[in-house]
Amino acid sequence: MKQKLRSLMSRQKWVAIAMATIVLAGVLSVVSPVFLTLSNFQAILVQSSVTAIMAIGMTFIILTAGIDISVGAILFVTSALFAQLYMDTESYFLAFSVTIVCATLLGALNGLLVVKFRISPLITTLATYSIYRGAAIHLTGAQNIPVPREMGFLGNGRLFGIPVPILILAALLVIGVYILSRTRLGVYARAIGNSERSANETNLPVDRSLIVIYGFSGLVTGIAALILIARVGGLQSGIGIGIEFTVIAAVILGGTKLSGGSGTVVGSVIGAVFLVLIDNGLNLMNASPYIYDIVRGSVLLAAVAIDRYSAVRQQASLEAQRAERIGLESEPNTAEFVPHPEHVTAK
């Protein structure tokens, strides 16, 4: 049983964060009687929907060994665009479609810049972060713009008794899982993350895939922006500040490797929920809001440390097994640099 669980955890990285989430939920339900109610459960999911949706897009980017620091700015600029457009035209259709298209294009622009200029994604998106944020404030003149009350349906409404943000999150989760596990784009994303050079040499459409992946992240961020602005009730200047790090943290907690190549969409969404659970727990304990950052940071550190520790142990046990097979106590480390005779003769 223990062995089975361990092998499941090493193959499916998201199982670890799922178990951590269940344990945390268990602790919280003991601490607070209101925790284990359907309405609180729904509230937690609704609260995590924005970061969870953004984490779906970020998962693909991190799978390619990339990063997008500008997602918070895209969230802000698309919120601003929607609020401004609706105020000017009073047309939902126009405001919605332009916002979603723009969000996708801004994401794709990140991808295009990364591909064309060969500057690291971190620097590229740090620059576009500044540009997008400036553009958004330029657009709205640093005003807070309210959105109409009907908009609230996207943030607080229900369909078939389920809150709308949860339905949108679920739909995007299914789409994300499908793209990653059943389409070429998913395979390309992992291939690029494992080795961009090999992906190029095997003639995979690396550039096009990267643009599409960054564009997809922009798209889901645009959808998240609509939910966020509907929940908040209007455009506020603080929207999206620092959210990129929460999103990245959710993806990493979900078991996706920052170096690319391995990870799951499900894990990222659970990671986002986990982060909200922590906030929820701190809230139940009446903790100072300033403590939140310290706890989040410590949890993130613990997660990467545990991940590293288990990777080291796995490596050690693999090496021990191999040594047992060959009948050695342990292999001397220098051996790997002596060329194998076969390789020498083959040349």
Using an 8 Å Cβ cutoff, are 199 and 188 in contact? yes
Question: Cβ closer to other proteins: 135 or 187?
Answer: 135
Token duo for residue 129 = 């972060």
Q: Smallest distance from the beta carbon of 27 to other proteins, in angstroms?
A: 21
Q: Smallest distance from the beta carbon of 288 to other proteins, in angstroms?
A: 6
Using an 8 Å Cβ cutoff, are 95 and 89 in contact? yes
Cα 311 to Cα 305: distance, rounded to the nearest angstrom: 10
User: Which of 184, 197, 308, 322: binder of other proteins (CB under 8 A)?
Assistant: 308
Q: Does 293 bind other proteins (CB under 8 A)?
A: yes
Query: Mapping DSSP to helix (H, G, I), strand (E, B) and coil, where does residue 145 land?
Result: strand
Cα 168 to Cα 71: distance, rounded to the nearest angstrom: 19
User: Which of 298, 314, 315, 321: binder of other proteins (CB under 8 A)?
Assistant: 298
Task: Map the footprint of other proteins across residues 121-150, applying CB under 8 A.
Answer: 122-124, 126-131, 133-138, 142
User: Which of 18, 20, 25, 67: binder of other proteins (CB under 8 A)?
Assistant: 67
Q: Smallest distance from the beta carbon of 142 to other proteins, in angstroms?
A: 7
Q: Smallest distance from the beta carbon of 252 to other proteins, in angstroms?
A: 6
Q: Smallest distance from the beta carbon of 346 to other proteins, in angstroms?
A: 24
Q: Does 300 bind other proteins (CB under 8 A)?
A: yes
Q: Smallest distance from the beta carbon of 29 to other proteins, in angstroms?
A: 26
Question: Cβ closer to other proteins: 135 or 167?
Answer: 135
Cα 56 to Cα 34: distance, rounded to the nearest angstrom: 29
Q: What is the DSSP string of 274-293?
A: HHHHHHHHHHHTT--TTHHH
User: Which of 8, 27, 162, 304: binder of other proteins (CB under 8 A)?
Assistant: 304
Question: To 10 degrees, the CA torsion angle through 126, 131, 135, 137?
Answer: 50
Using an 8 Å Cβ cutoff, are 264 and 192 in contact? no
Based on its alpha-carbon atoms, the radius of gyration of the chain, rounded to whole angstroms, reads 23
User: Which of 118, 149, 325, 347: binder of other proteins (CB under 8 A)?
Assistant: 118
CA atoms within 13 A on the CB side of 332: 4
The phi, psi pair for 337, rounded to 5°, reads -95, -5
Q: Does 316 bind other proteins (CB under 8 A)?
A: no
Q: Does 288 bind other proteins (CB under 8 A)?
A: yes
Query: Mapping DSSP to helix (H, G, I), strand (E, B) and coil, where does residue 147 land?
Result: coil
Q: Residue 136: exposed, middle, or buried by beta-carbon count in 10 A (0-12, 13-18, 19+)? A: buried
Q: Does 172 bind other proteins (CB under 8 A)?
A: no
User: Which of 27, 36, 305, 323: binder of other proteins (CB under 8 A)?
Assistant: 305
Query: Mapping DSSP to helix (H, G, I), strand (E, B) and coil, where does residue 162 land?
Result: strand
Interface segment toward other proteins; rule CB under 8 A; list 33-41, 91-99, 176-184, 293-301: 293-301
Task: Map the footprint of other proteins across residues 77-116, applying CB under 8 A.
Answer: 113
Q: Are strands 162-163 and 234-235 parallel, antiparallel or unpaired?
A: unpaired
Task: Map the footprint of other proteins across residues 210-249, applying CB under 8 A.
Answer: 245, 248-249
Match 């142990």 to its residue by tokens.
313
Q: Which residues bind other proteins (CB under 8 A)?
A: 67, 113, 117-120, 122-124, 126-131, 133-138, 142, 245, 248-249, 252, 258-259, 288, 290-298, 300-301, 304-305, 308
